[in-house]
Amino acid sequence: MDFGGLLLLGFLWLLFNLLGKSRQQGGRVPGRRSPPPSAAPPSRGDATQREGTRLEALLREFERALEQGGGTGPLGRPSSAPLPPAEEIEERESLETGPEVVSLEREVVRPERPHLSQDEGAERVVARRIAAAEARSGPLTRADHVAFDQRIRPEPADATAVRPLTTAELRRAVVWREVLGPPVGLRDLDRR
């Protein structure tokens, strides 16, 4: 069963419940006539039988309303009047526009690249490399050894002398040894 059918059944059930409540309250539903004397009073059977009886009564009322309505068409228009042709009703302009083709491909304009040539300076680079290789390729002389020795000699001993530590520095060293050293329980293992 599709959704429309379920919606219709739900609407009919709601309508029947409203009609049943109005009967129980003794009030009249506006626009509804009392049932004809020939209609049998609702039986005191189970709920489905009462529901079926109400449904039959409602369908009879719908039939009578259609018969009394006579020649009225949709929206209260007399059924004898013809409907206007569809062309006359839809005289509206279309809001749609024709497809507009726009190309997203555009020519990219870039500045011309400068011409770089490594060949012009290549001869100078090669000559410089050859000169450096020839300077190192010869045997080293005694003067070269003396110059090298002077470069790597350590500084004089005065610059490497260590000043005596103060009491505060010694105290700080002991604290850091306790913090960074092995745990007390493992210190005996280190002495073995």
Report yes or no on 61 lying in a domain: yes
190 φ, ψ (degrees, to nearest 5): -70, -30
Report yes or no on 13 lying in a domain: yes
Total number of domains constituting the chain: 1
Using CA atoms, how far residue 47 sits from 27, 51, 86, 92, in Å, is 21, 6, 49, 54
Report yes or no on 33 lying in a domain: no
Exposed, middle or buried, 54 (CB in 10 Å: 0-12/13-18/19+)?
A: middle
Q: Which residues have C-beta within 8 Å of that of residue 50, sequence separation ≥ 6?
A: 42, 43
Using CA atoms, how far residue 141 sits from 57, 128, 136, 144, 150, in Å, is 132, 23, 12, 5, 15
Report yes or no on 154 lying in a domain: no
Report yes or no on 178 lying in a domain: no
State residue 163's pLDDT score.
83
The predicted model gives 123-138 an average pLDDT of: 88
What is the tens place of the pLDDT at every residue in 84-94? Answer: 666 656 656 77
**85-99 as b/e, with b when 16 or more CB fall inside 10 Å?**
eeeeeeeeeeeeeee
State residue 151's pLDDT score.
84
Report yes or no on 1 lying in a domain: yes
The predicted model gives 44-58 an average pLDDT of: 88
User: Looking at per-residue confidence, does 88 or 13 come out higher?
Assistant: 13
pTM (predicted TM-score): 0.20
The predicted model gives 147-161 an average pLDDT of: 75
Report yes or no on 173 lying in a domain: no
Q: Which of 64-73, 86-95, 111-120, 167-176 has the lowest mean pLDDT?
A: 86-95
User: How far is 81 from 71, CA to CA, in rounded Å?
Assistant: 10
Report yes or no on 60 lying in a domain: yes
The predicted model gives 133-161 an average pLDDT of: 80
User: Looking at per-residue confidence, does 173 or 37 come out higher?
Assistant: 173
What pLDDT band is residue 176 in, cutting at 50, 70 and 90?
A: very high
What pLDDT band is residue 37 in, cutting at 50, 70 and 90?
A: very low
Identify the domain containing residue 52 by its residue range. 1-25+42-70
